[in-house]
């Protein structure tokens, strides 16, 4: 897990590159490397995970010095690929395997990679630049093309450090306030700063940029699986065990993030089948609020598995400073106090020397685990009874800019299309962004075994009756783990709210909330809003209309980023 940055074109400059690397150094504190030649500057911040030697530092060159690569992520199946390559390897790193794979197979190497990655390769002979992002966009790639050349980085702040204007994209913000959208896969909240969508690659040569989709999920889905129920269970277990095996390839300690839910509990159970439980530490957060905390379910699970548990307490008194800190890493709106709470797990893990953590992200999307898959309406937010947005506080101009997002519907089935939306446009993209930033903020690596593309494709393809049965979501998955998990974990209802954000923002964090309202009124952005309506909504919240605090968090996020 690392950070990459660079400039191709007449804007390539070592001083600019150094500024870009400095602001994202948290992504890789173990080494900073640079490559500079005419019209090309490439940089890398390294967090050492596989092959800790200096020989694996980046930028990394092939044996003939034709290609130079910088790479953020992990190629989990690098050992299997290594056996297929006739190459004179000098290191034990997955970076070298990645470069050798590209040299042998070109762009087709992407289909062979099982991992999370965002990498760039410069061909010194042809003067061509190639970059690619993994299937689901776990690792980021931001860029801007202007008259000075092509600029790219792992974090948006690195582009700002390079001199790119920090200008908000008003329409993206309008869609965020009106519909809760975090943008389409190629967009950011900043004007003229783009991101390479997951499952795409780009080529840049002679000032010409071309972007191509390489991962065709729709074509990989087989909706005519002819397997019995028991065969399906066996195959899913086999794929899951292999995914976990691959994600335990590390030369530094590995731990697990544990909530009280089915997904992370399933993950911990399968991890313990493979690795000695004495060597696997679990991490969880709590807030000392019995209504929201998952600690009882976590402890029930730990009593069953006997792993060591690290409990991280989040208090309202810590939120102000932590919100400022996490905002500096996110660069865009993030998911509220739960994201802040989650960030402190990585902080604790780093303090304890656990550099790699696993979590259960991706299970709900492949198994149709959210309640709104079968409820009427078009929301994708759980735990609320009415709209979490307040369009009535937006100015007429901003509301005119807001366009309700429309997502592709490649399947004939409504629920499959909702799953597809959540995988590629809503739930997974935003969760991956939040989680990449909070893990990297503390120089730790997050791995998601359930987002192994083989698992996602297989579970997604299953008939609906294996996903939802009556009121039970993730039905077959629960049946798979029912013999190895406590019943109170296996059949526990999904808990959409994990922190007392709603209560805190009206009470302990009232000043926190009011600062956002005051900023909006007094700032140069006041014309984005109807201030009287905004104040009335805030008063209604204080008077007890607290079904959702999402819109308050939107205002506070805006304050954090624009202040």
- Mode of pairing for the β-strands spanning 308-313 and 281-286: parallel
Is the distance from CB of 480 to CB of 363 less than 8 angstroms? no
Please give the torsion angle defined by the CA atoms of residues 14, 20, 24 and 27, in that order, rounded to the nearest 10 degrees.
-50
Tokens encoding 274 = 């493979």
| Burial of 124 (C-beta count, 10 Å sphere; 0-12/13-18/19+) | middle
Determine the straight-line distance between the first and last CA of the chain, rounded to whole angstroms. 30
Pairwise CA distance, residues 28 & 60, whole Å? 15
Tokens encoding 41 = 């500057």
Pairwise CA distance, residues 168 & 520, whole Å? 15
Tokens 């410069």 sit on residue: 122
Tokens encoding 362 = 């991706």
Phi, psi dihedrals of residue 364, rounded to the nearest 5°: -60, -35
Measured from the Cβ of residue 538, the count of other Cβ atoms closer than 10 Å reads 21
Q: Which helix (H) or strand (E) holds 432?
A: helix 427-441
Q: Which of 2, 23, 394, 485 is catalytic?
A: 2
Is 109 a known active-site residue? no
Is the distance from CB of 141 to CB of 154 less than 8 angstroms? yes
Is the distance from CB of 516 to CB of 559 less than 8 angstroms? yes
Residues 6+ apart with CB under 8 A from 351: none
Which candidate, 128, 280, 102, places its Cα nearest to that of 202?
A: 128
Measured from the Cβ of residue 308, the count of other Cβ atoms closer than 10 Å reads 14
In DSSP terms, which residues pair with 308 in a beta bridge?
281
- Using left for φ > 0, alpha for ψ between -120 and 50, and beta otherwise, residue 394 falls in beta
Tokens encoding 363 = 């299970």
Where in the sequence numbering do the catalytic residues fall?
Answer: 2
């Amino acid at each position: 897990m690392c950070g990459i940055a660079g400039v191709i074109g007449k804007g390539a400059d070592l001083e600019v590159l150094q500024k870009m690397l400095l602001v994202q150094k948290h992504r890789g504190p173990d080494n900073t490397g640079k490559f500079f030649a005419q019209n090309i500057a490439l940089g890398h911040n390294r967090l050492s995970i596989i092959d800790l030697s200096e020989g694996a530092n980046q930028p990394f060159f092939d044996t003939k010095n034709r290609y130079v690569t910088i790479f953020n992520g992990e190629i989990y199946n690098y050992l299997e690929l290594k056996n297929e390559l006739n190459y004179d390897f000098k290191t034990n790193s997955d970076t070298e395997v990645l470069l050798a794979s590209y040299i042998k197979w070109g762009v087709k190497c992407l289909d062979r990679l099982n991992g999370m990655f965002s990498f760039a390769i410069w061909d010194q002979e042809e003067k061509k630049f190639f970059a690619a992002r993994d299937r689901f966009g776990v690792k980021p790639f931001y860029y801007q093309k202007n008259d000075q050349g092509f600029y790219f980085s792992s974090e948006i702040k690195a582009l700002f450090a390079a001199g790119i204007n920090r200008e908000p994209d008003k329409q993206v913000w309008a869609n965020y306030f009106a519909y809760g959208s975090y943008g389409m896969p190629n967009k950011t909240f900043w004007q003229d700063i783009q991101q390479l969508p997951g499952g795409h690659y780009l080529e840049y040569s002679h000032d010409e940029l071309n972007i191509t989709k390489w991962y065709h999920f729709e074509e990989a889905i087989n909706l005519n699986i002819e397997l019995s129920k028991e065969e399906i269970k066996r195959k899913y277990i086999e794929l899951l065990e292999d995914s976990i095996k691959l994600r335990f390839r590390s030369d530094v300690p590995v731990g697990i993030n544990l909530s009280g839910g089915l997904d992370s509990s399933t993950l911990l159970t399968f991890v313990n089948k493979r690795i000695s439980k004495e060597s696997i530490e679990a991490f969880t957060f709590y807030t000392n609020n019995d209504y929201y905390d998952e600690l009882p379910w976590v402890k029930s699970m730990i009593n069953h598995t006997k792993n060591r548990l690290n409990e991280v307490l989040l208090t309202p008194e810590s939120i102000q400073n932590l919100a400022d800190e996490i905002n500096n890493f996110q660069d865009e709106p993030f998911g509220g106090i739960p994201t802040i709470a989650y960030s402190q797990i990585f902080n604790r893990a780093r303090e304890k020397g656990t550099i790699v953590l696993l979590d259960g992200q991706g299970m709900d999307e492949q198994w149709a685990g959210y309640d709104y898959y079968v409820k009427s309406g078009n929301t994708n937010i759980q735990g609320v009874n009415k709209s979490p947005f307040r369009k009535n506080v937006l100015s007429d101009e901003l509301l005119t800019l807001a366009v309700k997002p429309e997502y592709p519907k490649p399947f004939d089935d409504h629920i499959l299309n909702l799953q597809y939306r959540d995988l590629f446009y809503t739930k997974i993209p935003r969760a991956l962004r939040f989680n990449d930033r909070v893990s990297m903020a503390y120089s730790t690596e997050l791995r998601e075994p359930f987002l192994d593309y083989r698992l996602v494709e297989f579970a997604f393809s299953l008939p609906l009756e294996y996903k939802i049965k009556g009121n039970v979501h993730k039905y077959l998955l629960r049946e798979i783990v029912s013999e190895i998990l406590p019943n109170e974990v296996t059949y526990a209802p999904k808990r959409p709210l994990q922190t007392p954000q709603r209560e805190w923002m009206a009470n302990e964090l009232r000043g926190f909330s009011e600062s956002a309202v005051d900023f909006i009124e007094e700032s140069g952005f006041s014309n984005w809003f109807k201030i009287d309506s905004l104040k009335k909504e805030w008063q209604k919240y204080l008077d007890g209309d607290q079904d959702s605090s999402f819109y308050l968090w939107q205002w506070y996020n805006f304050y954090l980023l624009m202040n």
